Structure 1
Amino acid sequence: MNTSRNDKPKVVDDFESVFRDRKVLITGGLGFIGSNLAHRLVGLGARVTLVDSLIPHYGGNLFNIRGIEDKVRVNISDVRDRYSIEYLVQGQDYLFNLAGQVSHIDSMEDPFTDLEINCRSQISILEACRHHNPEIRVVFAATRQEYGKPQYLPVDEEHPLRPTDVNGINKVAGEWYHLLYCDVYDIRTTTLRLTNTYGPRQLMKHNRQGFIAWFIRLAIEGKEIKIFGDGTQLRDFNYVDDVVEALLLAAANDSAIGKTYNLGGDEVVSLKELTELILEVAGGGSYELVPFPEEKKRIDIGSFYADYSKIRNELGWRYRTSLREGLTRTIEYYRKHWRHYWS
């Protein structure tokens, strides 16, 4: 049915009616975003299966499902195992495809692993859907890294894609495979390009999968944070609960099928301002401005913040959790549970 701009489809946001008793598969389900999504879906009455490889230096952590262990099914499997994925997608109503290698530095040092996880595995997942469950509804987690160094700000979905690292290139390919399988095979896919996401249940063992979690850990420990460059680089941030909301909206609304949406924030801050706020909320630590290491300088994108008006206008998603509120919740969580995340 064609709709005019003044006759938009009604946004579906009664998630309990959508997901109750429905079968939901989450790849990367023991990781940061996947586990937070799992908690929300369990609360909505969904029948949730989590797939995760639990590779030690990635983000999977069994503690992330504490409190819902007996309400979810966990399958320890790697998305690179296509035979496992072919079995797991069968009978599922929804697939939140969140598994991925997210370290930009790792993608440059070991491009073949990044290729296997972020590119080849995505074809295997989509082929499994095509042959074994073509009616499944799929939401794929893409990334702002696909845009590369911005040509203008804020960055909207029409901005050219010119990634600065292997990870970004493979994420572009993964996203386009999802859109292609929608166009050619009628697999009902939507992709979300995520910005800097933070919150409870994030990987804190090392600093190779995002700087904000590492900054938070150092502040909690009362240590010094090193900011590369002059600290004026601008960023936007999303608290993980807001990202979960966007994932659910994308899955619940057929009007989102075949589309790509940016997520973004209303608070655009410099890295120096962010660090100062983290230190204030944590009540400890310090920071120092240091020169960029050469391997990071070559792939740095400078300032970045997104225009998320498309998902706001079409699906009603909004930036809800302020940076101060989100950081407060996050730091409280890790003060209580740090033993399960530091090592």
Structure 2
Amino acid sequence: MSVADFYKGRRVMITGGLGFIGSNLARHLVDLGADILLVDSLIPDYGGNLFNISGIEARVRVNVADVRQASTMNYLVRDREVIFNLAGQVSHIDSMRDPHTDLDINCRSQLTLLEACRHHNPEAKVVYASTRQIYGKPEFLPVTEQHLVRPTDVNGINKAAGEYYHLVYNNVFGVRATALRLTNVYGPRQLMKHNRQGFIAWFIRLALQDQEIQVFGDGSQVRDFVYVDDVVSAFLEAGRCEACDGEAFNVGGDEHLAHRDLVKVLIELAGTGRYRFVEWPPEKKAIDIGSFYADSSRFMRASGWTPRVSFREGLTRTLAFYRQHMAHYVEPSAASAGG
């Protein structure tokens, strides 16, 4: 059965559905004819943004709710066939400054959702958004799923726990679940109000506003970048892949770039911006993992997925989106300052 046939009319729920990846996933599911419920807490400073579903509002249902609320989740999961569980706190720095909130959102909320499925909809398939951060500093590159899980920050620890909850509920309670360990995802609709949720959207904002980009150290750290449409495709494949049940997979890009090279390409494509190398801030250096890129071949073999959008193409699309819609992603004064 094709992806289009599988999702046509299928009852889907996306937690974190007004966020970066969730809203892009929703747009693809609308095109596939799915019955879509978006759940998002719209917590300030997180990624939820009602503009992210501009143009598809009439074709999705939105429930503004906190995934930590058991009574709410018990009700919302009842008739959903596939649940894409993307709600979470993703800032590494915030997790170190406020570890209890990170624990609450990335652990307790996952248990709340899984318990709701266990007791009220055990037939649901759950796909969880995990992260490369659970690996910590790589011992070898590219990183495979055989690498030890040794997080360097509180967020990585709690995301690892959230992932394992899903796999335990798959193995013990029969709630089918798959975890996707995402690397550096970029693209339209990503939060850029601040720089605590990943550096690439922040770099894009600075370039478009013709400001200086500060690159830590000598910019030699290498990352793999994966465009959001490719990540959406990975979630859609995982949601229908029976061989993926009970497994965790890497999902990354097939191009590896040093930060300094990324910035050069970004400034070239944007036509604005400049960069300067600066010393590492101590709080960031303490949790930096150095170079990282993942081997996604295991997921490719299991699901048939492959990344299709090159970094230059993805960055070109992303810049075009923010040139048109920047005002919806930054504070009004900052938007006007950027022209």
Question: What TM-score, normalized to structure 2?
Answer: 0.97
Note the C-alpha offset of 1:257: 0.7
Structure 1 CA distance for aligned equivalents of residues 226 and 254 of structure 2: 9
Once the two structures are superposed, residues 108-150 of structure 1 have per-residue CA deviations (whole angstroms, 9 ceiling, x without a partner) of: 0000000000011111110000000000011000000000000
- 2:126 pairs with one of 131, 134, 138: 138
> 1:8 maps to what in 2?
none
- 1:154 pairs with one of 113, 131, 142: 142
2:31 corresponds to 1:69? no
> 2:18 maps to what in 1?
30
SS in 2 for 1:236: strand
- 2:45 pairs with one of 43, 51, 57: 57
Note the C-alpha offset of 1:16: 1.6
Unaligned runs of 5+ in 1: 1-11
2:224 corresponds to 1:244? no
Unaligned runs of 5+ in 2: 332-339
Note the C-alpha offset of 1:52: 0.4
Note the C-alpha offset of 1:319: 1.8
Note the C-alpha offset of 1:298: 0.3
Of the structure 1 ranges 313-322 and 244-253, higher mean CA displacement relative to structure 2 is found in 313-322
Note the C-alpha offset of 1:227: 0.7
> 1:186 maps to what in 2?
174
Structure 2 CA distance for aligned equivalents of residues 188 and 238 of structure 1: 26
- 1:103 pairs with one of 67, 76, 91: 91
Structure 1 CA distance for aligned equivalents of residues 329 and 242 of structure 2: 37
Note the C-alpha offset of 1:317: 1.2
SS in 1 for 2:190: coil
Once the two structures are superposed, residues 235-257 of structure 1 have per-residue CA deviations (whole angstroms, 9 ceiling, x without a partner) of: 00000000000000001111111
Report runs of 4+ in structure 1 exceeding 2 Å deviation: none
Structure 1 CA distance for aligned equivalents of residues 14 and 254 of structure 2: 28
RMSD: 0.6
SS in 1 for 2:276: strand
2:322 corresponds to 1:297? no
SS in 1 for 2:68: coil
> 1:6 maps to what in 2?
none
> 1:315 maps to what in 2?
303
Corresponding pairs, count: 331
Structure 1 CA distance for aligned equivalents of residues 205 and 70 of structure 2: 36
> 1:85 maps to what in 2?
73
Identity rate of aligned residues, in percent?
62
Question: What TM-score, normalized to structure 1?
Answer: 0.96
Note the C-alpha offset of 1:313: 1.6
